[in-house]
Amino acid sequence: MIGEPPKSTLLVIDALKSNGPMAPRDISRTAEIPLRTVTFALKKLLSWNVCRRIPNLNDMRRPLYVVDQEKLRAVFMRYSPIQV
């Protein structure tokens, strides 16, 4: 089991839940956090299998990330201030 998640991961999850699949730069703009922080949060979420990286067929240099709702509920139920 993971420890308490960093606040940045919760902000990234909230942005992805609200807007669907997004590229890191778009998440950064939406959540109003630095791109480097988004990248860190996405690495954490990927390692916990809470989100998935999917190819962006319009621009392969900018992958999209999407939240897996079932795994999100299982992992973050007790930590998250957002509704999952």
CATH number of the domain enclosing 26: 1.10.10.10
Backbone φ and ψ of 76, nearest 5°: -105, 10
Residue 16, domain extent = 8-76
pLDDT at residue 84 tops 60: no
Tally of domains in the chain = 1
Residue 6: per-residue pLDDT: 84
Encoding tokens for residue 26? 């778009």
Higher pLDDT, 84 or 45: 45
| pTM for this predicted structure | 0.81
Band of residue 69 on the pLDDT scale cut at 50, 70, 90 = confident
Decide if 1 is inside a domain: no
Decide if 82 is inside a domain: no
Decide if 30 is inside a domain: yes
Q: What is the largest CA-CA distance in the chain?
A: 37
The pLDDT tens digits for 9-62 are 889 999 999 998 999 999 999 999 999 999 999 999 999 888 999 999 998 999
